[in-house]
Amino acid sequence: MLFLGISALILSPWLVKNLILTGNPVYPFFYSLFGGKDWGKEEAYFFYQSLSGRIGGSFKFLPFLATFFALLSRRAQIGFHRFIIPIAVLLPFFLIKRERNLAIFGIFGVVELLFFSLLSGNVANLLRYALFAYALLFLSFGSFFARFRLKRLATVVLIIFATIDTGWGIAFRETLTSSYRVVFTSLPRRVYITQFVPSYPLMVKAGELARSGKILFIGETRTFYAPKGAIVPSANNGRYIVKLIEGGKGIPEIEKRLRSKGIRFILLDVPELARLRRVLGYLRFSSPNDEKLFLDYIRTRKAIARFRDIYLLES
């Protein structure tokens, strides 16, 4: 109870902030129950889709179980950690008689992993959102090593492991984001952000237009700097965009569909669109005619601004 109470205390400032600013303490979750300022059913749908969520869908036990075990064993996302996490998951139950308190923390970790496996079928997302579960699991894991007579050797091995793992993680992040260039050099913030999120200059421009209507993102799914009123379908499928096009009789009908949704502008990231279609199957049209209609519609849009191969278009 003390642990849960402290956890709730740490969380409470964000709950209060959300309640004051949006009217929903767990914003953007549970929109249908609590509502939320600058949010809507469509935005909530996109958000849940971006989590590959099962929220609002039918529950099936085998896919849920498959996600949980994929989280513990998938090499592509976890690497050599896959050999350690299953052990850490099982150990709390063996320690319950000898190390009851630490075992309970480990069981909390298992419950959290199960909970997020229930919400999402995307292993990559689970690795992010269930991060705190691993900290709880390894309290039990560490106590298990502490019971050995060779605990000093075990401690040295774990310290070496943690050092290598942390160093690798820092190096890997730097290859992705080059964030230390901002910390240790005079690289301007705007220049860095533009390198990391090439659509950023157009997001700034889109923010100026946001009062005139919603902005539909196509290809670009990163929302770090997206203006209010932006509609950002999931990178997992882009189904919302497909539904706007499917069965359309021509460009005027597509224009009418977008206008009925309040969409006045489109932010099109051509390189990212190509990458997502190749890697994640983004924008899977059910027929060649729908795909052709989508391409024809995009080609006929008036460009308001351009940066590299990224465009801000009128709908």
For the stretch 18-65, pLDDT in tens is 999 889 998 877 888 888 887 777 777 766 666 655 554 556 777 677
Show the low-confidence residues of the chain (pLDDT under 70): 46-59, 63, 70-84, 120-127, 147-150, 236-237
**C-alpha torsion sign, points 191, 197, 202, 207:** negative
Q: What is the pLDDT of residue 293?
A: 94
Q: What is the pLDDT of residue 83?
A: 63
Q: What is the pLDDT of residue 20?
A: 92
Nearest-angstrom CA–CA distance, 21 and 220: 27
* Torsion angles phi and psi, residue 150, rounded to 5: -90, 35
Beta bridge partner(s), residue 218: 268
DSSP one-letter code for 55? T
Question: Which tokens hold the place of 243?
Answer: 């539904």
Question: Which tokens hold the place of 311?
Answer: 């465009």
Q: pLDDT per residue over 78-111, tens digit each?
A: 555 556 677 777 777 777 777 777 788 888 888 8
**Could you tell me which of 12, 13, 133 has the C-alpha nearest to residue 68?**
133
Question: What Å distances lie between residue 52 and 58, 122, 223, CA to CA?
Answer: 13, 6, 17
With residue 307 as reference, give the H or E element that holds it: strand 303-307
Sheet containing strand 303-307, strands side by side: 230-231, 214-218, 263-269, 310-314, 303-307
The model carries a pTM of 0.62
The widest CA-to-CA distance across the chain, in whole angstroms, is 77
